[in-house]
Amino acid sequence: MVVRHLMIGAVALATSAGHASAQDLTAGEAAFRKCQPCHDVGEAAKNKLGPELNGLDGRKAGTVENGTYSQGMKDSGITWNEQAFREFVSDPAAKVPGTMMLLSVKGEKEVGDLWAYLKQFGADGKTRSQ
């Protein structure tokens, strides 16, 4: 009987975790709308004022072909991962002096949702499973 209750609990937890992830992606997509004047993502993404953000997870900063970057970003040595992204978007000028990025995202949840949304896109702009 105890095993049965544990199994039911495990299934419920797994189901809710998958549901939370979907909510994060939806919230991240909504958060990305603030970024769209300068950035693009997806299969038809193009460089705008800032670089397209496909394949961001694991990419070295300042390396998108034909992207417009400050010298500070080119020289930053950043390889994008969740921690570097969180630090940068919460205060871009503090992380990379001279950056051209002016918008910051302050809320921890919003930053996490935004990262979850962006990291799903491969370098080709197609979404990959989480």
How does pLDDT run across 60-97, given as a tens digit for each residue? 999 999 999 999 999 999 999 999 999 999 999 999 99
Residue 31 has pLDDT above 90, yes or no: yes
What's the whole-model pTM score? 0.80
CA 40 → CA 7, 45, 55, distances in Å?
Answer: 43, 5, 12
Reported as type and span, the H/E element at residue 32 is helix 2-32
Half-sphere exposure of 43 (CA within 13 A, CB side): 3
Bridge partners, 23 (sequence order): none
Radius of gyration of the chain measured on its C-alpha atoms: 17
